[in-house]
Structure 1
Amino acid sequence: MSKNPDFDIELKLLLEAIYLKYQHDFRDYSVTSLARRIRQALPVFHCHTLSQLQDRLLHDPAVFPQLMQYLTVQVSEMFRDPGYFKALRQHVVPLLRTYPSIKIWVAGCSTGEELWSLAIMMHEEGLGERTLFYATDINPQALRSAEAAIYPTERISEFSRNYLAAGGTASLSDYYHAAYDAASFARSFKSQVVFANHSLATDSVFSEVHLVSCRNVLIYFNHGLQDRALGLFRDALVRRGFLGLGSKENLRFTSASEHFDDFVPAEKIYQRS
């Protein structure tokens, strides 16, 4: 909780209003992180208090889509934490190869950098044509960006370094077309991806999958919501399926810990037990 009791009350009321009005549930997100981002949003909406923001939210339909950019964290990069992708190549892909078809769920896919990284990896491993990806997020604007797969060319050098460190077997330039200071990725992979709005706070499992990659999402949830999300992943995974988390996330002290075994502990890759 903050040092301002009024702010804490207003934040609870704001999140309740969002849930009742728009059916998006942020009530179990980490309060500290959420409060910081909403404070940043106040001047953007010309509001001095959360009560003023709530009034605008309830009566101006244009406000909520804009506020979603602050309620959700859209920070990603291609092949982020290269060791994770290298571990997938070396240790997980050989086992995925034993399945006639493969389903991968990228939960909290944000603007798509991780999704397209995985698609490139599976293509290079000869598994692209038999892999179906589910890319989900609660932010419609982020999903549109993920589907477009267009990123500023100023980010490409970083993406390329990550790609090579992650064990890339070609050149990242093979997978994008550059024009007008932007790079358009992975046109040939888009038929293999299903994009969908899905909330780990309120929605259910929608398919059986072989790998769930949900990285740097759980850190924004409180303990109860982390347990709920991990329960969804457990229920979605096939027997001995795989779960990948972010570098600052783990299963310790969660209700899911008894359902997973360490697989590549250093890269936070687990296997359903």
Structure 2
Amino acid sequence: MSTVLLDARDITLGYARGQGWQSVLEGFDLQLAPGEIVSVLGPSGVGKSSLLRVLAGLQTPHSGTVSLLGEAVTAPHPRVAVAFQDPSLLPWLNLEHNVAFGLDFARQPKVAVAARKARVDQAITEVGLQHARGQHPAQLSGGMAQRVALARCLARQPQVLLLDEPFGALDEVTRADMQQLLLSVIARHNTAALLITHDIDEALLLSDRILLLGHSPARTVGEWRIDLAQPREDRVDELGALRIDILKTLRRASRTPDLEPLRDSLELAHVPGRLHTHSA
């Protein structure tokens, strides 16, 4: 990578458990470059969301550092935006005001009224919701609500997007639309993105790199770089070969008892009509 935008070094995180200590992350490193999408795979409880909170400055690691272009990230940063599976829209605000609400977050630099309106208008246009700007969350579909959540991030003009399974609750068609929207947004703004997902196929279709986390404590048990141009839907054979390699890594890792949930949560899922290649 020519430029490291977000740099996490030797991250360790844990919590007290009984009379002992339970490690969640230990010695974790991650570097993100502008325009790069890195997906993190792993089962529930492996530490993915904890990692995201540390990278966002929402949680302080017990050791290690996170920096954005050399500046330490020790609290929520105005150039780092987070999107979750739940869009978390405020029901009493209409779509336009929900998007603008992101500009009122703590530590977000204040902008003039005209600039604020321009940012909100541009973000709503980018996600294709100009026609619904006066609607309230109760009037929106799940896909529209996620577009609003993404627009709220974009209005802040972030350099880094941290995405915690943002499309997990959507139907397949809407999910595919949101994936393409994410790709187009990142390409336009050269934003770096970290995507947490349980879906191998989603990671294969979107990512420049894939990291696979294992348990006890969370550590990288596999990493893959995907040098295939977008769109990738017509590259099923090449992506299928990568999927086999990921599954083989899962099987090797699952020989350790505490990694069995990793294999089960990723390998056994099947979505008809999507990539689904089994190794022998």
Shorter-chain TM-score above 0.5: no
Larger relative contact order, structure 1 or 2 (CA cutoff 8 Å, min sep 6) = 2
Q: What TM-score, normalized to structure 1?
A: 0.31
Q: What TM-score, normalized to structure 2?
A: 0.30
The structure in which a higher percent of residues are strand is: 2
